[in-house]
Amino acid sequence: MESQAGGASPAPANTGTGHAPGSSGIGSLLKLSGASKQRLAGWLFLTPAIAYLLFAFALPIVYNVLLSFERDSLSTIGSINAPWAGFFNYTAMFNDQIAQSAIVHTLVFTVGSLAGQFIIGLSLALLFSNRFPGRTVARSLVIVPWLVPLIVTGVIFRFMFQQEGGAINQILVGTGLIHNPVDWLGTTSYALLTVTIANIWLGVPFFTLLLYSALQEVPAEVKEAAMIDGANPWQRLRLVTIPIILPVIEITFLLGFVFTVKVFDLVIGMTGGGPANATQLISTWSYTLGFQEFNFGEAAALNNVLLVAALVCAPLYLLLSRDQLRRSSGAGR
């Protein structure tokens, strides 16, 4: 993940101590005099990224807050002098039944997706930890769904879950699991479940890959010791393996959460939010409000709810990424 071949190498600014082999006194003198030149170069290397982050992230987020307090239409969205709306957009949003249900759907969709992705991903990761013929091929094929453009995944699942002529119904009826074809995407009670299933399929490769690489780090002696102590496979998993890979499980859930709350393409491709808004998520309803009803104010208010939901995990995310932050103090360590 992070290579650190040069972990112990001295930093440019303090090579004058004489411990670093190969750095002569003259070299360090030259560098010290060039220290401010170097700092300037560092800033110049960083400038495009700063400009980009300001333009493509900071500005839109600030602008979104501004939009949420304005009465915007397509004719005023580009201008600053749109009429001020106070909290109108927020009260409108919280009284909007579709927005309310979109928030609930997003929650159900996210929890269901993560649970399914974790259970299937961990099972596959455990499976791939065994040695068996075809293991390498199977492991690399499992990541293929990850590479499919999301809108394509959406249309494939829409096709497979059709009531008439859909592969899923045909398999289920053929094997006798159900008697009559189910209208998976056309009935309000099944549609959210169906898009959740599609999203589980989408996220399994990610969970499998991350959990698999974590399992490789579990020392064999620990597992053997547990086996000698008479622990059965379930106990070994629950009491030995999972506690050891817990940090990776945490970060995987966190990233999975971040992916899932922003799912958009998949649902647009499968249902467009229907039937009767049964699969309307925060993201899809925000799009509909903004780009189809040109109610940019309420869309922005809803976006802010989504942003807050996504950022709820930010402190935990930064905590788990503290290695990357800690290494910020400069070159080498």
Partner 1 sequence: MSGRHKKTAVRWLSTLVAFVAVAIMLFPIYSIIVASFESTVTLFSTKFHFFPYHPTLANYQTVLLGTQSGTATSVTISGNQLGHVLTSFEIALGTALLTLAISVPAAYALAKYRLRVTVLFVGALLLAQIVPSIVLATSLFAILLKTHLVNTLPGVIICDGTYAVPFGILVLRAFLFGLPNELMHSARVDGASEWQTFRMIVIPLARSAIVTVAVFAFLAGWGDFIFALTTLNGASFEPITLGIYSFLGNYQANWGAVMAAGVVALVPAAVLLVIAQRYIATGLTAGAVKG
CB of 186 to partner 1, least distance (A): 13
Residue 9: strand, helix, or coil: coil
CB of 215 to partner 1, least distance (A): 13
- 143 is a contact residue toward partner 1 (CB under 8 A): yes
- 173 is a contact residue toward partner 1 (CB under 8 A): no
CB of 52 to partner 1, least distance (A): 5
- 327 is a contact residue toward partner 1 (CB under 8 A): yes
Q: Which of 85, 114, 160, 267 binds partner 1 (CB under 8 A)?
A: 160
Q: Which of 186, 255, 275, 294 binds partner 1 (CB under 8 A)?
A: 255
Q: Give the integer Cα–Cα distance in Å for 84 and 114.
A: 40
Q: Give the integer Cα–Cα distance in Å for 268 and 263.
A: 9
Q: Which of 16, 32, 64, 275 binds partner 1 (CB under 8 A)?
A: 64
Dihedral of CA 62/101/252/205: which sign?
Answer: negative
Q: Give the integer Cα–Cα distance in Å for 21 and 234.
A: 53
- 313 is a contact residue toward partner 1 (CB under 8 A): yes
Number of neighbouring beta carbons within 10 Å of residue 273? 23
- 319 is a contact residue toward partner 1 (CB under 8 A): no
Q: Give the integer Cα–Cα distance in Å for 104 and 108.
A: 6
CB of 57 to partner 1, least distance (A): 5
Q: Which is nearer to partner 1, 62 or 104 (CB)?
A: 62
What are the angstrom distances between the C-alpha of 103 and each of 57, 108, 123, 255? 24, 9, 30, 20
Options 96-104, 217-225, 229-237, 288-296: segment touching partner 1 (CB under 8 A)? 288-296
- 221 is a contact residue toward partner 1 (CB under 8 A): no
Q: Is the separation of the CB atoms in 308 and 233 below 8 Å?
A: no
- 107 is a contact residue toward partner 1 (CB under 8 A): no
